[in-house]
Amino acid sequence: MAQSASTRPTAWWLATLEKRAARMKEERLDLAEPITFSDASERSAAINFFNAAFRAEESGLRQAHELADEVGRWDPELARVLELYGNEEGWHRELLESFLSSIGGEVRPMGRVTRSFYAVYARAKRMETIVLTNLMFETIGATTYRLALGRVEHPAARQMLTILTRDESFHVPLNVHFLSRILERRPKSSRWRLKLVYQLLFVSLLGLPFASRPKAQAFDKITRRELGRAYAEQLARLFTHEPSLGLKPPRALLALLGLRDEDLREPPLAATGAEAAEAAAVRERVEVRAL
């Protein structure tokens, strides 16, 4: 098994994020060519898709900076890593706002299901719960973007999806590092609580496609069943390849979805290994593979 990203020292993540920050603003969306849609329903679905992405980045920005303030009391170096991570989420939010404007859209209020989900997330107080939730959000986000990338054809939309997929795939192992560092400071009793949260989150996230598909499927062409199974597979692979976290996916649910043990032996697409993290550290060198 590849070396875990959790074994990378915080100093490595900090140096890598500082390099990424120095080049972040150099990347621009090419919005010169107007995006044409097959009909009004596809355009509306695209606006819904990228609104959901905007809200995910907005939430990640807020939580990362709030955590940075708290972590700074006991680990200033890790706090700086959290701050830079939040800045990347904020940069994504800016790009998404520009992209939405280019397709005649805008940032819209969240729907009932999404609003309820983020409201519960915002009430989380324990650091390990917040980071675990964000890790799982990043994983399903990267999975959704990769699936969409394999179906969307317009160059500007593909560029936006490529940026999101590439950076979220770096953020997954980064959040593994965050969770590992925080768990080092927690008593063993926190692990039992986290296992319960993990199981609840796993099941809840598999229900998200039932809310998102009617709104976005005309754009990304991903079916409800396909997305739910992909979420389960990638989340299960992630934690199978990170045994030090002590979080095991619900086997009965995986069996119901037709996922076997051999399916989980493959590394997750947003790989958590140290080698994968290093490969994703320099944006312009990353080759993003669609599903």
pLDDT reported for residue 169:
84
- Top pLDDT among 244 and 284 is at 244
Helices then strands, counting H and E runs in the chain, come out as 12, 0
Q: Which residues contact 25 (CB under 8 A, 6 or more apart)?
A: 91
The pLDDT confidence band at residue 170, using thresholds 50, 70 and 90, is confident
* Buried b or exposed e, range 10-43, using 16+ CB within 10 angstroms: bebbeebbeebeeebeeeeeeeeeeeebeeeebb
For 168, the token pair is 């979220």
For 27, the token pair is 């990347």
- How confident is the model over 68-127, as pLDDT tens digits? 999 999 999 999 999 999 999 999 999 999 999 999 999 987 766 666 666 666 666 788
196, 129 contact by CB (below 8 A): no
Kind and range of the H or E run holding 229: helix 224-240
DSSP codes of every residue in 178-206: HHHHHHHTS-HHHHHHHHHHHHHHHHHHH
Instruction: Classify domain 9-22+38-284 at the CATH class level.
Output: mainly alpha
List of E strands, the chain: none
90, 173 contact by CB (below 8 A): no
Residue 216 and residue 125: Cα distance in Å, rounded?
32
Most confident range, picked from 80-94, 209-223, 268-282 = 80-94
pLDDT reported for residue 286:
47
Question: What ranges do the domains of the chain cover?
Answer: 9-22+38-284
